Amino acid sequence: MFKSIILAAGKGTRMKSETPKVLHTIFNKTLLGYVLDAVNDTGLADENFVIVGHQAEKVAEFVKDNYDNAKTILQEPQLGTGHAVSMALPFLENYDGEIVILCGDTPLIQSETIREFVEYHKNSQSDITVMSAIFDEPANYGRIIRSANDKVLAIIEEKDATPEQKAIKEINAGIYCINWSKVKRAFSELNTNNAQGEYYLTDIIKWGNNNGLSVNGYVLKDNEEIFGINSKLNLAQASKMLNRKVVNKHMANGVTIVDPDTTWISPETSIEADTIIYPSCYIEGKNTIGRNCAIGPFAHLRGDVVLEDNVKIGNFVEVKKTRVKSHTNACHLTYLGDSEIGSNVNIGAGTITANYNPLSKVKSKTVIEDNVKIGSNSVLVAPVEIKEGANVGALSVITKNIPSWALAITRAPIRIVEDWVKRKM
């Protein structure tokens, strides 16, 4: 087991936004959420400390609302990354174990990587392990300085590096695993003798060597995992990196994705083999999609969607917080929200489940049982139940429950005025 310290105090000036950098989202999930989930998904983290600073209240509220095993610690003033970690000292005074230190703006880090990193730290009997990566063009990164026997001697920030040091291609990935009881003293002994005039977290490497500790480096296999977000451009780049990996994984598992370049699928969505995703679909949040389904083109799944086998969600159909049983079709221009939909149901074009009351701000549920047929351009005003086998006529507004095998129709009778056009002409 270990505890984590996640650095999330930065202002993120280049984001040009009133939203804290770590609360920007990919697939409607925050950057900080990706990092916390990656740590928790290792199954090894029992407590997480998030260091907050800029707009601390917003970040603290997010953490409190979403994570039972995480707490926030305020860094004020913000005097560097080493100073940020030192804020956790009072909370870890008697702790004797591993601490993993990460950045809250690296959403692509994977739980498997963190788990392997901690295992490497233990197997190497390290006191301090830094994660590194090899870049052909390492500009703007701190360089890893190693000894002849491959031990890590120091990390030199780009602004402090000599030309020879800048030529080194191994860079600091910004993730550390440390034996807290042996290393915590370092955070009271760091200095600001550097170009930034800050307390650098990287200086614990040199401190460890000076104090006779074992210091090692773990080389990352996939450099994209430590891609940091500093601008809206970086956010878009990270989104594409993440989506490409997700889409490739699904295709490798037997899902047909007609156009990977225009298909977006969240990493929390599971899809069974032989399902087809047509172009220009956006699938966000946590969803479960069965076998032999057809999604799109231009479909939007907004999360908490379960599609059983042989379901069709067609063009310009939006689905949210809905379960759809097998052999059901919603082919065109439809919104299904907060719904339970049975098997062998046909949802006509332009159907809407009106689930939200803007006055009470309450969302209610629509239940459509097996073998129901919903005519085109119908509105089902929740809460409402359409019982098994019922038919709803086109253009109907349904505001009460419909019994089994009944026909419900609310449109006015057609009125035909003979020669009306000729008279008007």
pLDDT tens digits, one per residue of 270-306: 999 999 999 999 999 999 999 999 999 999 999 999 9
Instruction: Give the alpha-carbon dihedral of 385, 388, 391, 397, to 10 degrees.
Output: 0
Sign of the CA dihedral with 182 first, then 188, 193, and 194 last? positive
In contact, 338 and 364? CB cutoff 8 Å:
yes
In contact, 350 and 330? CB cutoff 8 Å:
no
Taking residues 5-21, what's their average pLDDT? 94
Least confident residue range of 10-14, 201-205, 261-265, 314-318:
10-14
Show the tokens assigned to 162.
């000599």
In contact, 368 and 345? CB cutoff 8 Å:
yes
| Higher pLDDT, residue 106 or 159 | 106
Listed in order, the ranges of the chain carrying CATH 2.160.10.10 are: 232-408
- pLDDT attached to residue 412: 87
Residue with structure tokens 């009306």?
420
- pLDDT attached to residue 160: 87
Q: What is the pLDDT of residues 210-268, one digit of tens each?
A: 999 999 999 999 999 999 999 999 999 999 999 999 999 999 999 999 999 999 999 99
pLDDT at residue 139 above 90?
A: no
In contact, 210 and 190? CB cutoff 8 Å:
no
Show the tokens assigned to 74.
């305020």
The C-alpha atoms of residue 182 and residue 120 are separated, in whole angstroms, by: 18
- pLDDT attached to residue 181: 96
Pick the CATH number of 2-226 from 3.90.550.10, 3.40.605.10, 3.40.50.300, 3.40.190.10: 3.90.550.10
Q: Number of helices and strands (H, E) in the chain?
A: 9, 35
Q: What is the pLDDT of residues 358-403, one digit of tens each?
A: 899 999 999 999 999 999 999 999 999 999 999 999 999 999 999 9
Taking residues 24-36, what's their average pLDDT? 97
**Of 325, 328, 326, 385, which Cα lies nearest the Cα of 353?**
385
In contact, 144 and 152? CB cutoff 8 Å:
yes
Q: Which CATH class is domain 232-408?
A: mainly beta
Give residues with Cβ within 8 angstroms of 293, minimum separation 6. 271, 272, 275, 276, 307, 309, 310, 311, 312, 313
In contact, 123 and 27? CB cutoff 8 Å:
no
pLDDT at residue 140 above 90?
A: no
The C-alpha atoms of residue 296 and residue 283 are separated, in whole angstroms, by: 10
Supply the residues annotated as catalytic.
332
The C-alpha atoms of residue 59 and residue 62 are separated, in whole angstroms, by: 5
Label residues 109-135 b or e (16+ Cβ within 10 Å = b): bbbebbbebbebbeeeebbbbbbbbee
Taking residues 190-203, what's their average pLDDT? 88
Q: pLDDT class for 193, splitting at 50, 70, 90?
A: confident
Q: What is the pLDDT of residues 75-98, one digit of tens each?
A: 999 999 999 999 999 999 999 999
Q: Is the peptide bond before 163 cis (omega within 30 degrees of 0)?
A: no
Taking residues 180-199, what's their average pLDDT? 91
Q: Specify which residues 386 forms β-bridges with.
A: 368, 402
In contact, 365 and 340? CB cutoff 8 Å:
yes
Q: Specify which residues 70 forms β-bridges with.
A: 48
The C-alpha atoms of residue 5 and residue 103 are separated, in whole angstroms, by: 8
The C-alpha atoms of residue 61 and residue 11 are separated, in whole angstroms, by: 17
Q: pLDDT class for 419, splitting at 50, 70, 90?
A: very high
The C-alpha atoms of residue 150 and residue 140 are separated, in whole angstroms, by: 23
- pLDDT attached to residue 195: 77
First to last CA, the chain: 84
Average pLDDT, the chain: 96
Instruction: Give the alpha-carbon dihedral of 88, 94, 97, 102, to 10 degrees.
Output: 0
Q: Specify which residues 217 forms β-bridges with.
A: 130
Taking residues 95-121, what's their average pLDDT? 97
The C-alpha atoms of residue 98 and residue 114 are separated, in whole angstroms, by: 12
Taking CA 207 as the corner, what is the angle to CA 206 and CA 211, rounded to the nearest 5 degrees?
A: 115
Listed in order, the ranges of the chain carrying CATH 3.90.550.10 are: 2-226
Q: pLDDT class for 36, splitting at 50, 70, 90?
A: very high
Q: How many residues does the chain have?
A: 425
**Of 372, 363, 373, 369, which Cα lies nearest the Cα of 385?**
369
- pLDDT attached to residue 265: 98
Residues of the chain with pLDDT > 90, as a percent, come to 93
